[in-house]
Chain A
Amino acid sequence: MGNSVKIRRFRRCPRISHLFLVKGIINHPMKALSIQNLKKTYNNGFQALKGVDLEVDSGDFFALLGPNGAGKSTIIGIISSLVTKSSGSVTVFGHDLDKASGQAKCCIGLVPQEVNFNQFETVKNVVLIQAGYYGIPRKQAMAQAEHCLKQMDLWDKRDTVSRRLSGGMKRRLMIARAMVHQPRLLILDEPTAGVDIEIRRSMWQMMQEVNQQGTTIILTTHYLEEAESLCRNIAIINDGQIIEKSAMNSLLNRIHIDHFVLDIAQPLAVAPVIEGFGIELVDSHWLHVAVPKSQGLNRLFEELSRLGISVMSLKNKSNRLEQLFIDLVQ
Chain B
Amino acid sequence: MNNSVAFRTILYKEIRRFTRIWPQTLLPPAITTALYFLIFGKLIGERIGAVHGVSYMDYIVPGVILMSVISHSYSNVVSSFYSTKFQHHIEELLVSPVPNWVILSGYVCGGIARGVMVGAVVAAISMLFTQVTVLNWPITLTVLILTSTLFALAGFINAVFADSFDDISIIPNFVLTPLSYLGGVFYSLAMLPPIWQIIAQGNPILYMINAFRFGLIGVTDVDIALAFQMTAGFILFLSGLSLFLLHKGIGIKN
Contacts and interface: CB of A to CB of B under 8 A. Distances in A.
A132 B6 contact: yes
Contacts of B179: none
Contact of B249 (A84, A105, A108): A84
Contacts of A83: 253-254
Contact of B254 (A42, A114, A119, A137): A42
A14 B2 contact: yes
Interface string A1-36: 000000000000111000000000000000000000
Interface stretch (B66-74, B83-91, B108-116, B220-228): B83-91
A45 to B, nearest CB: 14
A135 B92 contact: no
Contact of A135 (B6, B89, B91, B249): B6
A81 B88 CA distance: 14
Contacts of A84: 249, 253-254
Interface in B59-107: 84, 87-89, 91-99
Contacts of B2: 14-15, 135-137
Contacts of B9: 129, 132-133
B99 A105 contact: no
Given A102-B97, A102-B99, A135 B87 contact: no
Q: Chain B interface residue count: which class?
A: 20 to 34
B92 A82 contact: no
Contacts of A151: none
B110 to A, nearest CB: 14
Interface residues of A, number: 33
A133 B89 contact: no
A101 interface: yes
Nearest to A16: B1
Contacts of B5: 14, 132, 135-138
Contacts of B92: 116-117, 129-130, 133, 177
B52 interface: no
A132 B254 CA distance: 25
B173 interface: no
A106 B1 contact: yes
Contact of B96 (A77, A114, A117, A133): A133
Nearest to B21: A120
Contacts of B8: 132
Contact of B91 (A14, A105, A112, A137): A112
A134 interface: yes
B3 interface: yes
B88 A105 contact: no
Given A133-B9, A136-B5, A106 B97 contact: yes
A129 B13 contact: yes
Contacts of A177: 92
Contacts of B254: 42, 77, 82-84
B97 A82 contact: no
Given A82-B254, A102-B1, A118 B95 contact: no
Contact of A133 (B6, B87, B249, B253): B6
Given A13-B1, A15-B2, A82-B253, A105 B96 contact: yes
A102 B96 CA distance: 8
B91 A134 contact: no
A84 B4 CA distance: 27
B96 A130 contact: yes
A244 B2 CA distance: 41
Contacts of A130: 92, 96
A49 B84 CA distance: 28
Contact of A116 (B12, B13, B91, B97): B91
Interface string B197-216: 00000000000000000000
23 contacts: A13-B1, A14-B5, A80-B94, A80-B95, A81-B94, A82-B253, A84-B249, A105-B95, A105-B96, A105-B97, A108-B95, A110-B95, A114-B88, A116-B92, A119-B87, A129-B13, A133-B10, A133-B92, A133-B93, A133-B97, A134-B1, A135-B2, A136-B5
